[in-house]
A and B are shown apart, each in its own frame.
Chain A
Amino acid sequence: EDDAQPKDEL
């Protein structure tokens, strides 16, 4: 499962 990412998207 993918990890939490910094949210650069809006």
Chain B
Amino acid sequence: LPVSDNLEADALKFLGRFGYISSAQAEQGAQSLMSVDLSEAIKKLQRMGGITQTGVLDIRTRELMQKPRCGVKDPVGEEEGGRKKR
């Protein structure tokens, strides 16, 4: 299913900026993103942030996206390659 129109553009921008959706999706725009991809991306963000993994843009997730942070992408995408988690 395509992403519904009411998703906040800021959330997509955040997910793209910090590596939770692929460079391709970030460059191609919201129309390329499936809702299942988005839910998984939000879960990864929630996992990294240490909050409950609901897969939706709940209040805690929105707060997390407002908090000051480092600009380096988080190691969640496969595209970076070569990263090892221990």
A and B from one assembly? Answer: no
Contact residues of A with B, CB < 8 Å? none
Contact residues of B with A, CB < 8 Å? none
